[in-house]
């Protein structure tokens, strides 16, 4: 007697993720995760030693003020910790809205987003002013996350994390801006004088004027020792 295997003529089909989860149907393709360093590469990459003009679009940030050296100031440390806690709190809240298909401000379609590199703004400096330096610390936000969403997210973070400095975090907007920028690896403050002279030469040769503030993008751990890169910028006009 010949034994036959039930359904021997049927091919085996691998179950879809939706079917394994008990929800038959077609999976919806996730929108691509927003990464500012990929969508706006000119703002986050410049060859060391080169000076380039770059046009930054209007942009939104989480912002907090800080005072002192990035390496030694307790106020700077607390501000940085609060800013990152706020950024991750807003990110988690955004993902929750994304799962529920809640649109962003202006009915913008949401995606997940990566936390962008830390940016820092400070006034004109000298090699001896670092301990008294006043900073504005910034982490980029997607445009669809408005003031109300940030405020609600910050309340949740402040309660959950117990970080008083979170109350100092705000959402700010910057208009389109033209920068002259360069980059440096390691402790850029040690090279402050030659970098400042380099900017002066480039500005003169290009017939440009610049505001006194320095804009910095930290391509590595904020305040870390040598080995990390920074993009240094000055806002320019004709």
Q: Structural domain boundaries of the chain? A: 45-237
Convert the pLDDT of each residue in 187-238 to its tens digit.
666 667 788 899 999 999 999 999 989 999 998 654 444 457 889 999 998 5
Contacts of 101 (CB under 8 A, 6+ apart): none
Convert the pLDDT of each residue in 150-181 to its tens digit.
999 999 898 888 899 999 999 999 999 999 99
Give the Cα separation of 167 and 148 in Å (integer): 14
Task: Classify residue 238 by burial, with Cβ atoms within 10 Å: 0-12, 13-18, 19+.
Answer: exposed
**pLDDT-based confidence at residue 124 (cuts at 50, 70, 90):** low
Give the Cα separation of 46 and 202 in Å (integer): 15
Identify the residue with better confidence: 126 or 178.
178
Token readout for 22 is 């008990």
Calculated CA dihedral for residues 13, 18, 19, 22, nearest 10 degrees: 170
What is the DSSP pairing of strand 52-56 with strand 214-219? unpaired
Average pLDDT, stretch 30-40? 88
Token readout for 237 is 């006009």
Decide if pLDDT at 21 tops 80: no
Q: What is the C-alpha radius of gyration for the chain, rounded to an integer number of angstroms?
A: 24
**Tell me, what's the pLDDT at 221?**
57
Superfamily of chain region 45-237 = Regulatory factor, effector binding domain (3.20.80.10)
Which residues, listed in sequence order, are joined to residue 37 by a DSSP beta bridge?
none
Decide if pLDDT at 184 tops 90: no
User: Are 96 and 116 within 8 A, CB to CB?
Assistant: no
Q: What CA–CA distances, in Å, run from 122 to 61, 89, 137, 144?
A: 16, 26, 9, 27
């Amino acid at each position: 007697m010949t034994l036959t295997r039930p359904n021997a003529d049927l091919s085996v089909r691998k179950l879809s993720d939706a079917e394994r989860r008990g929800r038959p149907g077609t999976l919806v393709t996730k929108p691509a995760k927003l990464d500012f360093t990929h969508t706006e590469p000119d703002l986050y990459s410049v060859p060391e030693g080169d000076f380039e003009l770059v046009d930054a679009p209007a942009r939104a940030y989480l912002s907090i003020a800080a005072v002192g050296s990035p390496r030694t100031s307790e106020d700077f440390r607390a501000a940085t910790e609060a800013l990152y806690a706020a950024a991750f709190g807003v990110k988690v809240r955004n993902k929750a809205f994304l799962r529920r298909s809640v649109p962003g401000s202006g009915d913008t379609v949401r995606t997940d987003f990566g936390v962008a590199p830390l940016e820092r703004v400070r006034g004109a400096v000298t090699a001896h002013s670092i301990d008294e330096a006043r900073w504005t610390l910034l982490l980029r936000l997607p445009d669809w996350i408005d003031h109300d969403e940030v405020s609600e997210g910050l309340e949740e973070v402040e309660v959950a994390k117990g970080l008083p400095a979170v109350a100092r975090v705000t959402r700010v907007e910057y208009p389109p801006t033209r920068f002259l920028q360069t980059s440096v690896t390691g402790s850029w403050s040690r090279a402050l004088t030659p970098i400042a002279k380099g900017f002066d030469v480039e500005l003169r040769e290009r017939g440009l004027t610049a505001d006194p503030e320095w804009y910095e993008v930290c391509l590595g751990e904020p305040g870390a020792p040598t080995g990390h890169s920074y993009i240094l910028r000055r806002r320019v006009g004709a």
